Structure 1
Amino acid sequence: MTTDRSISAAQEYSAHNYHPLPVVVASAEGAWMTDVEGRRYLDMLAGYSALNFGHGYRPLIEAAKAQLDRVTLTSRAFHHDRFADFCTELAQLCGMEMVLPMNTGAEAVETAVKTARKWGYQVKGVPDGKAKIIVAENNFHGRTTTIISFSTDPEARADFGPYTPGFEIVPYGDLAAIEAAMDENTVAVLLEPIQGEAGVLVPPPGYLTGVRELTRERNVLFMADEIQSGLGRTGRTFACEHEGVVPDLYLLGKALGGGVVPVSAVVSSREVLGVYRPGEHGSTFGGNPLACAVALEVIAQLRSGEFQRRAEELGDHLHRELGLLVGGGGVEAVRGRGLWAGVDIVPTHGTGREISERLLERGVLVKDTHGSTIRIAPPLVISKEDLDWGLEQLRTVLQG
């Protein structure tokens, strides 16, 4: 099917919940994707960090193939021979004690919300139905009804009420606002260590450290949504590590499935995740054999530290080059860490969508957010030469 026919059919038969760029991908390898007409594109988005290891990364593909020939699903009604290893290895990678596996990032966030409330009632002694979770403005934690209830993005939230209560929204990066919002019924603070959808917003130095100290003092859980920022993207296994912080709960997804299958998890201590009893929470596909096999290989790759080092080194280069565009190069500001950047385009040069479309024409794939911003997040396997080529296309587009 040609590009035009495929796009036309998608517009006719699929709900318009996304506004994709006009490219139809047929195959991919490493940091490159090829469309149905044979044109190649440099992937500078990596599935919003789901493809940290790139497309078709052989160790992950081989792990999936081997498991496909054995068993793919048992449900949690039975044990399977990959589950214990997955939970053990992921808990150790995180420096935690227990794992609750799910499928998507939104499910991990929903699980964390339920966990914090249950912990609040059973361990902290909050009165039933009074648990409060503090969240940040401009957050993006998913699109379920509960999650969009504490979103400040009108596109995500409008016309989906009534909304779930129990959340208080404060400005991101403002420690004093978190402290002021806390009361005896506060059970958790839920934050992205770096806000991805908001434009790759990095909080001020010391913010995460302050949140960790404050939550510990007040007997409140610190829940770090590392679904986009975690597993090597920022130059560390977890973005929280840049401030030497270990939260009470890690929320993981995207890259945990290596771009092969959806895998997510909440990882925490025995005190926190130990509040669950059989039947109180679950998922038919959560922790399935295929997911565990792929995720185990992801964990093995991360243990070497190679991808974290690549993200740090290439990320330093990325930010130096992008910084040269600030001012006279068509860029107002650049934010981010590691191989992850939010680039604010000078309005006279075009919207984020328009810049993304012009880059598409030159063989580079990025995605816009919030009108004037483009996000750059290539696979961690990208070569320096390919990264430089992609940046050269951006410079050319902004000069045009």
Structure 2
Amino acid sequence: MKYQSKKKALILLADGTIFHGKAVGDKEGTAFGEVCFNTGMTGYQEIFTDPSYFGQLMVTTNAHIGNYGTSIHESESETVKIAGLICKNFSYDYSRPLADLSLEEFLEKNKLFAISDVDTRALVSYIRDNGAMNAVVSTDVNNIEGLKKKLKEVPSMEGLELASKVSTEEAYYYGKENATYKIAALDIGIKKNILRNLAKRDAYIKVFPYNASFEEMSAWNPDAYFISNGPGDPEPLTDAIAAAKGMIASGKPLFGICLGHQVIALANGVSTYKMHNGHRGINHPVLNKVTGKGEITSQNHGFAINREETEANALLEITHVHLNDHTVAGIKMKDRDVFSVQYHPEASPGPHDADYLFDDFFGLIQKNTKETVKV
């Protein structure tokens, strides 16, 4: 190890609770956001660059962070999206030949403030019991009252629209132009690996901004539609919900992941709610009610759809259930080729139990295009 950090730092939660640590690299800094935790043993770079984590202070439960460095091929977006990093042991050195940078260099490049030497077990236990809440991490340890004042000004994640902060500003294309299928994707925080999974199944994708209308998307005459993952509260996404209604009415296949899953539920009249502390990790157990099989999944969400309303909706069927708390993890429409899941089948580095969902989507596209040709 190059050196041990010595500069004192703290985590101040919205309820006044304080945890102590030290600044990574002895850097001074302050960062605000909703504090949450991820239980994954690997994949920290993917987590830090996942648009769904925009504005959140990430607590990593794995004891060592940074030990395998970072690679340019493992980012899910162009920049770091978390607001700050909180960990136990920060590894300044790394031992993977394929790495491009150390995690310290990666964080410096992205201007991300991080603190280590935190009792993350105690912090995560506190969040688990008291719920996700806003917090500040800072080296300004002698200015508690000033930090409290600024923290009160940070908006709550509930009711917060964040898709506009991470979505593309202009539509763009991904994949081979001469691919067999055309998919119109609504970007409300899309991950690169989702695009890779669509493209490798012979699709050409046009990615539209978060506020694109259904008329704009349908003008490209796609074979199917997709609504991505993303950050924040789904209910303020009125443009996306309206677009989803158009996609559903079109009769063409529609697939939604994470925030996209919630948008599809809202388009069907099912409400969403903020969870106590959300699901974030790569070991979440899900039951596929259609096959009866269990799946280990990657999850990252702080909101969920209302189960009672979903069960009461004559147009919807619950296809997947989270086995820890029985929240809805997947739905499909009974009279349309429309389905969605609350977790991440494109998970990188894994698990890959849910890869089949992309194949199911393309099965619907193939069926639909054949029927269109017959007509």
- Shorter-chain-normalised TM-score: which range? under 0.3
| Bigger helix share | 1
| Bigger strand share | 2
TM-score, length-scaled by structure 2: 0.26
